């Protein structure tokens, strides 16, 4: 969940009211994390065949990943943005997308190098967030959010057995979308580290 464009009422007038971590947006984020194992099981249960489990797994992924916008909007609208939420939100996305990528690679539908490149970037940035947490939680950037959207669309296309409806040409669409996701993933990862380095350098200069 990103930092709101305007501060919540309590902060606007200089108040220091504490926002509890036990709130609806964070609960939605936690549910998203808990749904990941169920989704992976449904996808792998019948070997990835295009039966009802495959369609159900794809639907569950789409619904779960779509709640990313719901919890963020609720947090901003109700002034419930918390440091925990800022950390859990990208973690939830990574658990879902990571589970989907690994499952697709296990099924032989996605090259392992794609999964590895994306996971190395995502896990690396997440670990870095925890390392620098004492210096302030770093919210997801605009580029990172675009990357997440493209990843979600690409994975959704890969999960839904659209080839049974439109034919094999749909694999070309999947390939284009996944390529865009990989490029954005790598680019935003490099940009994230670059911006973090510049920020730390600026702090040292002021000190």
Instruction: Give me the average pLDDT of each 10-residue run along the chain (207 residues).
Output: 43 53 87 94 89 94 87 81 81 91 96 96 84 62 82 94 89 95 94 80 70
pTM above 0.85, yes or no: no
Q: What is the DSSP letter of 23?
A: S
Domain boundary assignment for the chain:
9-206
* Cα–Cα separations (whole angstroms), residue 17 to 13, 40, 79, 87, 202: 11, 40, 11, 20, 30
The CATH number of the domain covering residues in 9-206:
1.20.120
Name the residue with tokens 């039966």. Answer: 51
Q: What is the DSSP letter of 47?
A: T
Here the tokens at position 80 are 């419930």
Please choose, from the candidates 142, 151, 127, the residue with its C-alpha nearest in 3D space to the C-alpha of residue 65: 151
């Amino acid at each position: 969940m990103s930092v709101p464009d305007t501060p919540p009422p309590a902060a606007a007038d200089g108040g220091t009211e504490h926002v509890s971590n036990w709130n609806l947006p964070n609960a939605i984020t936690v549910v998203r994390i808990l749904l990941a194992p169920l989704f992976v099981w449904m996808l792998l249960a019948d070997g990835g065949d295009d039966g009802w489990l495959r369609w159900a797994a794809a639907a569950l992924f789409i619904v779960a990943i779509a709640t990313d916008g719901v919890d963020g909007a609720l947090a901003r609208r109700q002034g419930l943005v918390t440091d925990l939420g800022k950390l859990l939100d990208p973690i939830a996305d990574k658990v879902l997308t990571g589970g989907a990528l690994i499952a697709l690679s296990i099924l032989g539908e996605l090259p392992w190098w794609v999964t590895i490149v994306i996971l190395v970037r995502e896990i690396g940035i997440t670990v870095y967030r925890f390392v620098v947490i004492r210096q302030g939680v770093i919210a997801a950037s605009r580029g990172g959010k675009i990357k997440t959207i493209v990843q979600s669309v690409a994975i959704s296309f890969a999960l839904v057995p659209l080839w049974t409806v439109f034919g094999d040409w749909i694999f070309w669409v999947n390939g284009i979308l996944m390529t865009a996701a990989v490029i954005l993933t790598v680019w935003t990862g490099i940009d994230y580290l670059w911006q973090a380095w510049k920020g730390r350098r600026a702090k040292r200069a002021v000190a």
